[in-house]
Amino acid sequence: MGMEYGVRIKSGALAPDPKLEQAIMDGLYSRLSLVLADDPDYWIEYDQGKLAILRDDEKWPDILNTYIDEASGGELEGIISGERYLYIISYTGSALAAPWFTAIDEVISDLVPGSFREEL
């Protein structure tokens, strides 16, 4: 079982900005690649707007996934249907993930001022 986080990246009243979304994902890839550079047990994959941190474990290789998508359904309190969110799903709650979340928070605060990561 994992933990799910979200970062609101654009007001629902405004059209999504593909350039901002691309900059967010590119920034996350760059920063997380630096964080993982010295750890041979983990690597990062980035393809078609989705980013994953992986490990060599055939039962559960994905340990963090993140992507940008539009909220729908409104099942969770505070989530606004139609708004764009950076979704982060982490399958590890250990201290191992702390530098990854620090890197994510730094990129988001640089590119989307006033936003913050919250547990969903």
Q: What is the DSSP string of 45-86?
A: EEETTEEEEEES-SS--EEEEEEEEE--S--STT--TT-EEE
| Structural tokens at position 41 | 């047990």
Q: Are 54 and 43 in contact (CB under 8 A)?
A: yes
pLDDT of the chain, 120 residues: tens digit per residue: 578 898 988 755 566 788 999 999 999 999 999 999 988 889 999 999 999 999 988 777 889 999 999 887 655 666 777 788 999 999 877 677 889 999 999 999 999 888 888 887
* pTM for the predicted model, two decimal places: 0.86
